């Protein structure tokens, strides 16, 4: 079995069909899910995991790259149904995931709401409410830049702040691959910054993207956009 399995979670958001791509890292002693989607996505996750030939009961850990609702929203459901799963996150982001600190995305959304034109206010209010409904979950394993695990043949934590201060990505040594989270997304067959208007520190986000590109991975697994295989034609994206 492939030790890196990308999931394709298709769903309707507003009037559009969208896809997110959590990843499973499979090794002898662990099946690690990287990010888990919005609230109420547990059944979508389970169905896709089963479709890939894997039993959801085999999950041992879930790693959250950062505390946005599309990455940690289903975490409380996962933990409730599979209580033995260990939750992994960066030390910086752990307080936000556990609810010890207020979501930085919610703080940002509340600030933006103050200046929204009247015709967009309702959407802004509903967005803030959706963020407030994300249930906190305690962290079992806190990680930092450079921490190493034997997942999928060897996995190193990479600090990639900018989108969020505690954002992390993963480098997979055996396959020279990177799981980017939201430190990079694929647009027009290139890696770019995810929603730069929402990055909490755009300069750090640019540096993190540059860091991932400079690592010259053969494959990049992006939560938004799927898989990008390096080639002469897609040497990714120029950095200012």
Whole-number Å distance between alpha carbons of 142 and 54:
26
Cβ neighbors of 204 (< 8 A, separation 6 or more) are: 161, 162, 165
Looking at the domain assignment, is residue 177 inside a domain? yes
Q: Could you give the strand order of the β-sheet that contains 168-172, starting from the edge strand earlier in sequence?
A: 148-149, 155-159, 168-172, 177-181, 219-222, 226-229
77 in Cβ contact with 40 (< 8 Å): yes
Whole-number Å distance between alpha carbons of 192 and 196:
9
Q: What is the CATH number of the domain that holds 158?
A: 3.60.15.10
Q: Say whether pLDDT at 211 is over 50.
A: yes
Average pLDDT taken over every residue of the chain: 94
Predicted local distance difference test score (pLDDT) of residue 13: 79
Looking at the domain assignment, is residue 26 inside a domain? yes
Looking at the domain assignment, is residue 193 inside a domain? yes
Predicted local distance difference test score (pLDDT) of residue 14: 73
Q: Say whether pLDDT at 237 is over 60.
A: no
Q: Please count the structural domains in the chain.
A: 1
Element containing residue 197 per DSSP (H, E): none
Looking at the domain assignment, is residue 239 inside a domain? no
Looking at the domain assignment, is residue 94 inside a domain? yes
Question: What mean pLDDT comes out for the span 193-219?
Answer: 96
Looking at the domain assignment, is residue 151 inside a domain? yes
Looking at the domain assignment, is residue 240 inside a domain? no
Whole-number Å distance between alpha carbons of 44 and 46:
6
Q: Say whether pLDDT at 140 is over 90.
A: yes
Looking at the domain assignment, is residue 42 inside a domain? yes
Question: What mean pLDDT comes out for the span 64-73?
Answer: 98
The residue range of the domain holding 183 is: 4-234
Predicted local distance difference test score (pLDDT) of residue 239: 38
């Amino acid at each position: 079995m492939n030790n890196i399995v990308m999931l394709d979670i298709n769903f309707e958001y507003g009037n559009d069909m969208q896809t997110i791509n959590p990843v499973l890292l499979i090794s002898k002693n662990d099946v690690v899910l990287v990010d888990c989607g919005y609230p109420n996505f547990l059944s979508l996750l389970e169905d896709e995991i089963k479709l890939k030939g894997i039993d959801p009961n085999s999950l041992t850990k879930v790693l959250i790259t950062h505390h946005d609702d599309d990455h940690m929203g289903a975490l409380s459901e996962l933990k409730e149904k599979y209580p033995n799963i260990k939750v992994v996150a960066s030390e910086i982001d752990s307080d936000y995931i556990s609810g010890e600190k207020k979501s930085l995305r919610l703080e940002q959304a509340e600030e933006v709401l103050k200046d929204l034109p009247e015709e967009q206010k309702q959407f802004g209010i509903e967005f803030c409410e959706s963020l407030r409904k994300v249930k906190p979950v305690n962290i079992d394993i806190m990680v930092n830049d450079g921490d190493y695990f034997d997942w999928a043949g060897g996995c190193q934590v990479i600090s990639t702040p900018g989108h969020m201060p505690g954002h992390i990505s993963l480098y997979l040594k055996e396959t020279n691959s990177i799981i980017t989270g939201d430190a990079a997304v694929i647009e027009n067959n290139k890696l770019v910054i995810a929603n730069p208007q929402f990055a909490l520190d755009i300069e750090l986000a640019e540096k993190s993207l540059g860091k991932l590109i400079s690592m010259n991975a053969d494959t990049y697994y992006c939560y938004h956009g799927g898989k990008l295989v390096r080639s002469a034609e897609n040497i990714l994206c120029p950095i200012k």
